Each structure stands twice: as structure tokens, then as C-alpha cells.
Amino acid sequence: MTPFPYKLVATDLDGTLLRSDDTVSQRTRDALAAATAAGAAHIVVTGRAVPWTRHILDDLGYDGLAVCGQGAQVYHAGEHRLLTSVTLDRQLAGLALSKLEAEVGPLALAASRDGLDGEVLVGPGYRVQEGPLPYVPYEDPADLWSAPLNKVYIQHPELDDDALALAARQTVGGLVDVVMAGAGVVEVLPLGLSKATGLSLAARRLGVKAVDTIAFGDMPNDIPMFAWAHHGVAMANAHDDLKAVAHEITASNDQDGIAVVLEELLSA
């Protein structure tokens, strides 16, 4: 049996590690455990900020590093401690949103506050996905900008996610970064921030390089992570833009696509 070829396994959460019912299958848990037993570290790399990620990591018994908030946060799950955090320049973000609204019309907004217990604020008209993740409604626009933020979520009444993300990048791409992270989830981020930013910081702490890394994902926000990692694996349910840059396409998240690839590597 040849040694496991990677020192780092980086996995997105939603649509990748998590099944549609927000659970992680036993098969995938076993495959990740086998990869770590073979010497690889596992890092969760998610768009979710720490407060929306912590309960999943705890359920997995995960005690290593996690990259949260699209790369803004490096979190030590075992110590429940935030190691690094990047915040959005609120004045710059406000300017960017004003410019974007002048181009496409009014937007519905939500935002993720910084910190271990940062709340997600949801404004009028913003369509929240059903589920257990907590959020706080607001009415006064000033509330959105009253505390440090990791990111702002934007929605448009007519433009779909891809069209809104494209319009935002074309209009304000020199002020902020914009990513499409899932259905109904277009995010405004600090300029230059990506999952690759946070993953490279976490990997450096572990003494691991990009050439040692295999990454799994499903959405366009995973493209920078695939560009950084040696090998990028897109799920069968992935967005076409991610599939276009992936080195490999595996089974869907509901069909244990991560486990399929890891089992093959472990048995090679």
C-alpha cells in the first residue's frame, strides 16, 4: 500500500461535506478519520462565520483548525478560540453598495458581525433560507453598520445569483470582492479576501504547503481554494463554474463524494 499522498484535506461544508439534511454521513466520517490516521490533517473551509459553524464542528468531534467566513476567520475548534479575523471596511462597503444600487436598483441586505458570537443581521426583504441557523431582523439601516462585520449579503428582486454577482463585480470590483456562495447567497467581502487566503494561513500554522493539499467544494467561492490547492475536487452537484476549473469531479454530497475519493486514495 502506498502512503496517503496528501498532508491536508480541505473540505467545504454546505453542498460538500454536509448532505442535504445538514448531516455528515458515517461513511464520510470514517474516510476522513482514515485519512487523518494516515497522517493528513482535515480542515473545514466554509463561507459560514464561526457562530454558524461551531455546532457542526462540535458534533463531528472536530478539534483542529477551521477556516470560516470565506477566509476571514481562522478558528481553533478544540480551544473554541478565534486565531485570526479580517473585517470589512464598513465605509468602503457602504460606498460599494451605493454604487451598486445606482446601477441595478435597491438591494435587500443582511450582514455577519465579527467575533465568536457575531450575530447575522437580516434586513427588510432579505429572503432567509429555512433552517436552524439563528439571525436577528433589523429595520433601521444604521443597525447594519453599528459593529464590525465580516461580510454583507446582497439579494436583488429580479437578478439571479450569477447575474447579481457579475453585476457587482463589474460595478464595484475595485472596492470589494464579491462571491456567489450558494443559492440565494451573494456576499460582499474585503478586497483580496478568499477561502485561499484563510486556508493558506491555516496551512502555514500546520506546516503544510499547497502542493500537499487536496480540496473539495461545490460553489464559485471555492474557485480560489482550488487555484491554491494541488488538487481540486468538485462535487457532482457543483456549480458549472467550479466544475470548469476542477481537476476531478466526484459523486454528489448526498452520495458521499468526499469518501469516494478518499477511499480510492487510501486503497491505492
Q: Output the pLDDT for position 1.
A: 53
Q: What is the mean pLDDT of residues 181-204?
A: 95
Q: Which amino acid is present at 235?
A: M
Q: What is the pLDDT of residue 131?
A: 67
CA nearest neighbour of 234 among 210, 261, 208, 212: 261
pLDDT single digits (tens) 23-65: 999 999 999 999 999 999 999 999 999 999 999 999 888 999 9
What is the arrangement of strands in the sheet containing 108-113, beginning at the earlier edge strand? 136-137, 120-122, 108-113, 149-155, 185-190, 176-182
Q: How confident is the model at residue 249 (pLDDT cuts 50, 70, 90)?
A: very high
What does the mean pLDDT of the chain come to? 95
What pLDDT does 268 receive?
80
Q: Taking every pair of C-alpha atoms in the chain, what is the biggest distance, in angstroms?
A: 62
For residue 129, pLDDT over 90 is answered with no
Query: Rounded to an integer, what distance in angstroms lies between the CA atom of residue 61 and that of residue 32?
Result: 12
Grid cell locating 28? 464520510
Sequence-distant (≥ 6) Cβ neighbours of residue 220 within 8 angstroms: 165, 179, 180, 181, 239, 241, 242
Q: Give dist(CA 36, CA 4) in Å, integer.
A: 9
